[in-house]
Amino acid sequence: MTSPEYRIEHDTMGEVRVPADKYWGAQTQRSLENFDIGRDHSLMPMEIIRAFAVLKLAAAKANLELGVLTEEKAGIIEKVCREILSGELDDNFPLVVYQTGSGTQSNMNVNEVVANRGNELAAKKLLHPNDDVNKSQSSNDTYPTAMHIAAYEVLSKKLLPALALMRDKLLELEKENAGIIKTGRTHLQDAVPITLGQEISGWRSMLDHAEKMIGDTMGPLRELALGATAVGTGLNAPKGFDKLAAAFIGAELSADYVTAENKFHSLTSKDGMVYSHGAMKALAADLLKIANDIRFLASGPRCGIGELIIPENEPGSSIMPGKVNPTQCEALTMVSVQVMGNDAAIGFAASQGNFELNVFMPVIAYNYIESANLLADAMTSFTGNCLDGLRPNREKIDENMRKSLMLVTALNTHIGYENAASIAKKAHKEGTTLKEAALSLGLVSDEDFDSWVDPEKMV
């Protein structure tokens, strides 16, 4: 029975009551009722919905050009898709990730919203969600297409710009600190000198490499499954639809999208997503290392290493007055850990491509998009709230470097490894300087020691 709050929609299984103020239809409503799983935090990402809008728009244009859809219908479909892209219809996409593994219900959610909103705009029953909006398509090829589009777009428009921002800041710090000589460390133990600029250059180079690796993985993401329909044969899609639709998608997004050469592969294998997320995992590993280096080097302020000074952004303790913690480092490392967990989920889900279809696609897409967004947000926050205010503690750096026993390494080529080791051991045991120990053992002269053990010559 209808009421002011509900209307009756139907599908092949019968009638369903749908909220009167929403544009979705019966299949969306059934999914909404049957999959109440993780609703508070696992809605289908809007990046996927926007990608669906682009592909539905492109499919309508391709169908129009191929003569299987009228100009009126194609025009209304495009108009509604642009409303979706502008965010006007966001509250019409309520489905969760944990639904059918092909993403069929989200595909139908978009089809129903486009059809019902389109009919409202046309002021008549013009569009059918399956026969018109989904023409020449299947959920089996639209969801992997939307997944690739969403992945490519979030990388190019969000993650890579955030990475470049952080990399450029590190390059700036690298140059600013090029002349500061400090203690190098290996195995958490003192090692030979290095400049702070050289140390930072290692961090910067990690991001250079991550940027290239992520870029290398974006090629496979530009390959679209659209046109494969149900099992890869292209049943019910007109000849040329796949290439034409990919071209329209590329034109819409200003990117070189192409139709997948082998549609059977594009439906059942998610190797492109695994490959691309693997590069994000590599970035996460580097970011965790960078954040850890900075928080350890900033440890103290009096009882730690204390060679770096981090911004004081907020109180660090509810009980210890004046305490400041490396909170941006902690946030970045937590994001890195989450991305590594997401990678495990994506890898396992991608391995479950049975016969002609992978049915773990929504969870792959969800975790991929979460990783990209988290990394982008975390790098932006870390750059603005930590790196922008990062400063060297010159006095502490110089103090630590001058008392390092590993400066003795400079003597190796002059007096031999064993003699140099005896100097270091004597200085450590007796708590003296290297020079005092060397002179006491009679292994070098005062003048030679000052000439040979010069940190500036060691970097």
Residue 245 lies in a domain: no
Residue 98's nearest CA partner among 410, 271, 273, 349 is: 349
Q: Are residues 358 and 423 in the same domain?
A: no
Residue 32 lies in a domain: yes
Half-sphere exposure of 299 (CA within 13 A, CB side): 10
> How far is Cα of residue 387 from the mean position of the Cα atoms in its chain?
20
357: helix, strand or coil: strand
Residue 45's nearest CA partner among 377, 381, 368, 375 is: 368
Q: What is the pLDDT of residue 2?
A: 53
Q: Are residues 202 and 285 in the same domain?
A: yes
Q: What is the pLDDT of residue 131?
A: 98
Catalytic residue from among 10, 31, 156, 187: 187
Q: Which of 105, 120, 135 is the last residue of a domain?
A: 135
Domain count within the chain:
3
% pLDDT > 90, the chain = 95
Q: Which of 371, 394, 417 is the last residue of a domain?
A: 394
Catalytic residue from among 317, 351, 445, 451: 317
CATH of the domain at 415: 1.10.40.30
Question: Residues 408-437: what's their mean pLDDT?
Answer: 95
Residue 3 pLDDT > 80, yes or no?
no
The per-residue pLDDT for range 251-303, each reduced to its tens digit, is: 999 999 999 999 999 999 999 999 999 999 999 999 999 999 999 999 998 99
Query: Is the CB of residue 221 less than 8 Å from the CB of residue 152?
Result: yes
Q: Is 187 known to be catalytic?
A: yes
Residue 438 pLDDT > 50, yes or no?
yes
Q: Are residues 154 and 102 in the same domain?
A: no
CATH of the domain at 201: 1.20.200.10
CATH of the domain at 46: 1.10.275.10
Q: What is the pLDDT of residue 297?
A: 98
Residue 241 lies in a domain: no
Q: Is 317 known to be catalytic?
A: yes
Q: What is the pTM of this model?
A: 0.95
Query: Is the CB of residue 146 less than 8 Å from the CB of residue 104?
Result: no
Q: Are residues 389 and 428 in the same domain?
A: no
Segment among 88-92, 151-155, 169-173, 298-302 with least mean pLDDT = 298-302
Q: Are residues 24 and 170 in the same domain?
A: no
Residue 380 lies in a domain: yes
Segment among 155-169, 218-232, 310-324, 371-385 with least mean pLDDT = 310-324
Q: Are residues 159 and 289 in the same domain?
A: yes
Confidence of residue 414 (pLDDT cuts 50, 70, 90): very high
- Helical packing angle, 139-154 and 271-297, nearest 10°: 30
Query: Is the CB of residue 146 less than 8 Å from the CB of residue 55?
Result: yes
Q: Are residues 64 and 125 in the same domain?
A: yes
The per-residue pLDDT for range 29-66, each reduced to its tens digit, is: 999 999 999 998 899 999 999 999 999 999 999 999 99
Biggest CA pair distance of the chain: 103
Residue 71 lies in a domain: yes
Range of the domain at 151: 141-175+185-222+264-394
Q: Are residues 96 and 128 in the same domain?
A: yes
Q: Are residues 303 and 410 in the same domain?
A: no
Residue 1 pLDDT > 50, yes or no?
no
Residue 251 lies in a domain: no
Q: Are residues 193 and 99 in the same domain?
A: no
The per-residue pLDDT for range 79-93, each reduced to its tens digit, is: 999 999 999 999 999
Q: How far apart are the first and last CA of the chain?
A: 82
Q: Are residues 129 and 148 in the same domain?
A: no
State the Cα–Cα distance between residues 444 and 290, nearest whole angstrom: 40
Q: Are residues 286 and 167 in the same domain?
A: yes
Residue 126 lies in a domain: yes
Q: Which of 361, 394, 427 is the last residue of a domain?
A: 394
Residue 230 lies in a domain: no
Residues 407-428, buried b or exposed e (16+ Cβ, 10 A)? bbbbbeeebeeebbebbbebbe
Confidence of residue 241 (pLDDT cuts 50, 70, 90): very high
| Dihedral angle over CA of 171, 176, 178, 181, nearest 10 | -130
